[in-house]
Amino acid sequence: MRLTILLVEDNSADADLLIESLSTDSFSKAWQFIHVERLGKALQCLEQQSVDVVLLDLSLPDSHGLDGITQMQTVAPYVPIVVLTGRDDTEMAIQAVAKGAQDYLVKGQISTQLLTRAIRYAIERTQIFKQLKASECRFRAVFDQTFQFMVLLSPDGIVLELNQALANVEASRLDALLHSPIWETERWGYAEPIQQWMKNAIAAAAQGQIVRDEIQVLSTQGELRWLDFSLKPLKDETNKVVLLIAESRDISDRKLIEAKMLQTLEQQQALNQLKSDFVAMSSHEFRTPLTTIRMATELLEKYSHKLTEAKRAQHFERIYAAIASMLHLLDEVLLLGKVDAGGLHYEPAPLELTTYCHDLIETLQLTTKSNHKIIFHCSDEPIQGEMDQSLIHHMLTNLLSNAIKYSPDQGAVWLDVNCQSDCVKFQIKDEGMGIPLQDQQHLFETFYRANNVGKIQGTGLGLAIVKKCVELHQGQIQLSSDVGIGTTVTIMLPRFCAATSS
C-alpha cells in the first residue's frame, strides 16, 4: 500500500530536493507526494483527503513558527507531522515536539536515510498513539458509564481521578477531593477510626493485597451511608504497584432490609419463646386450679349427702377461687398480648389519685382476703393528675398483690404517693422474702420468676405488665431488694400529658 506524503514547502528548490531524495530510496514506490506551498492549502488538503504524514516547513507565506502545527492538529489530530526548518535550534525543536510534532529536521542536514527513518517512525508512533487513545477511550467509557463509584489512587492514597458517577455526587466538593489523601476527604475523614481503617487499607493494597469490606461513610447530605468498598492494586510489568483502583456501591437500602429482616427474625424467635414459655407456664398454672376444681366437684358429686353445709360451702369456695385464679391468668396473658400487638393504648384523663388509691386498697383487701395490712401515705390531698386509670390500676394491683403474696402472714405493705410539680412518685414497699441479686435484672422479662419463690403460685407476668404500663406512660421504674429484708419498687410517672400516645 502506498503512503501519501503531504509536503508543505514554499521553496520549490527545497521541495524538489526532498522529493528527489525520497524517490531514490529503496522504498520509493511506497511514496505518493502532494506538494503545496501554503498552510491554507495544506489544511484544505487534510480536510478533503487521507494523508499518512506531513512534512511541514515552519516558514511559509501565510504561517510562521509553531502555529502551523497547532492548526494542522486541529484539522487532522492523528496525522503525524515532521517539521522542516533551516534553523538548528534545540529550543525550537523541543517546543515543536511539545506542540505535537513527531520529529524536527534541519534542512541541509537531512539525508535520505534520516528522512525515511523520520517518516516511518512518525507514522509508527502516531499509530501507537492512536491505539493508546482508543484504549483510553474504551477505559474512559467503562470508567464513566459504570453506576458504581470508582476512584484512581496513587499507591500512597492520593486521589488522582474519579469517574462520572462519583463526580456527579461530589460536584460541590470536587476540588477538595482531587489530589488529596482519600482519608482526609469529607466522606472518609468524619471519624478517626474510619480514617485509620482507610490508611490501613491503602497500606495493604500498596503491598499488592485486595481489600474489601462494608463500611459507613458520610454522604454529601451529612448522612451516614453503608458502602461495599474494595481496593485493588494495579501492577506494572515489574510487579510493582503503580495504581490503586477503589470501587464502591451504596448498600444502605440492603443494610436496612437486612436489619429489618433480623429484627423480624428476632421478634419471631421471641414470639416462639413466648409461646413455649406460655405452654410451660399454663400447663403448670392451669393444672393446679383444674385439679382443685375436679377434686372438689367429685367430692360434691359423690358425697354431697354426707357433707355438712359448711363443708359443701368450703368446696364451692375452692372451686370459685380456682376459677378466679384461671380467669386472672387469662386476663394477664390477654393483656400482655394486647400490649405486644400494639392494641393497648395510653389514654390519659383527669384523675384524683388520693381517692383512687384509697378505693383500690379497700377493694384489694376484700378480694385477696389476706391478713396483711396495707399502709397508705400521700404527700398531698387531693393529688390531681392526668393519667390512664386503667394502666394505673394494672400497675398498682400487680405490685401490691406481689407485695402481699411474698410477705409473711399478717405483715405490712406500704404504698406511698408523693406529688411533685411535674411528676408523681409511687413507692410500694414490703418486708417479704426479697429477691436474689442474680434474679433482679431478669424480673421484668415475661414468665420469669425468682429462684427463691418455692411453691408460691405465680405466672411471671405481673412485673412484665407493670413495665409495659409504665413505658406507655413514658415513666420510669426501679426495683431494689434484699433477701430476707424486703423489696421496694419505685415508679415515676409524668403528672400531666399534653397528647395521647400509644
Residue 114: predicted pLDDT: 85
Give the confidence band of 317 by pLDDT, cuts at 50, 70, 90.
confident
Please, which residues have CB within 8 angstroms of residue 148's CB and are 6 or more apart in sequence? 165, 247, 248, 249
pLDDT above 70 covers a percentage of the chain that reads: 86
Q: Encode pLDDT of 151-162 as tens digits.
A: 889 999 998 888
CA 3 – CA 33 distance, rounded (Å): 9
Q: Name the residue with cell 428476632.
A: 266
Q: Is the Cβ–Cβ distance between 354 and 383 less than 8 Å?
A: yes
Average pLDDT, the chain: 83
Q: Encode pLDDT of 320-336 as tens digits.
A: 888 877 787 777 777 76
Architecture of domain 147-250 in this structure: 2-Layer Sandwich (3.30)
- Indicate the fold that domain 349-494 takes in CATH: Heat Shock Protein 90 (3.30.565)
Q: Span 362-368, mean pLDDT? A: 81
CA 180 – CA 187 distance, rounded (Å): 12
Q: In 3D, which of 479, 466, 474, 478 has the Cα closest to residue 494?
A: 474
Residue 142: predicted pLDDT: 58
Class of domain 259-340: mainly alpha
Residue 283: predicted pLDDT: 62
Predicted confidence (pLDDT) at residue 502 exceeds the cutoff of 60: no
Q: Encode pLDDT of 59-81 as tens digits.
A: 888 888 888 888 988 888 888 89
Residue 140: predicted pLDDT: 63
At 452, list the grid cell.
427463691
CA 6 – CA 35 distance, rounded (Å): 6
What's the whole-model pTM score?
A: 0.44
Amino acid identity, position 313: A
Give the confidence band of 275 by pLDDT, cuts at 50, 70, 90.
low
Reported as half-sphere exposure (CB side, CA atoms, 13 A), residue 102 has a value of: 27
CA 35 – CA 7 distance, rounded (Å): 5
98 - beta bridge partners? none
Predicted confidence (pLDDT) at residue 253 exceeds the cutoff of 80: yes
Q: Name the residue with cell 530510496.
A: 25
CA 92 – CA 269 distance, rounded (Å): 82
Predicted confidence (pLDDT) at residue 498 exceeds the cutoff of 60: no
Taking the CB of residue 103, how many other CB atoms lie within 10 A of it?
Answer: 21
Q: Encode pLDDT of 22-67 as tens digits.
A: 776 555 567 788 999 999 999 999 988 888 899 998 888 888 888 8
3-state secondary structure of 108: coil
Q: Span 115-119, mean pLDDT? A: 84
Q: Is the Cβ–Cβ distance between 335 and 465 less than 8 Å?
A: yes
Reported as half-sphere exposure (CB side, CA atoms, 13 A), residue 182 has a value of: 28
Instruction: Find the helix or strand (DSSP H, E) in which 439 lies.
Output: helix 437-440
Predicted confidence (pLDDT) at residue 501 exceeds the cutoff of 50: no
> Does the domain at residues 3-142 carry the CATH identifier 3.40.50.720?
no
CA 476 – CA 470 distance, rounded (Å): 6
Dihedral sign of CA atoms 443, 397, 387, 496 in order: negative
Instruction: Provide the CA 86 distance to its chain's centre, in angstroms.
Output: 69
Predicted confidence (pLDDT) at residue 390 exceeds the cutoff of 60: yes
Q: In 3D, which of 190, 189, 140, 181 has the Cα closest to residue 159?
A: 181
CA dihedral 97, 98, 100, 102 (to 10 degrees): 20
Q: Where do the DSSP E strands lie in 251-392? A: 349-352, 373-378, 384-387
Q: Encode pLDDT of 170-212 as tens digits.
A: 765 666 678 889 898 887 888 889 999 999 999 999 999 999 9
* Domain extents in the chain: 3-142, 147-250, 259-340, 349-494
Residue 500: predicted pLDDT: 41
Q: Nearest-5° angle of CA 198, CA 200, CA 206?
A: 100
At 218, list the grid cell.
458520610
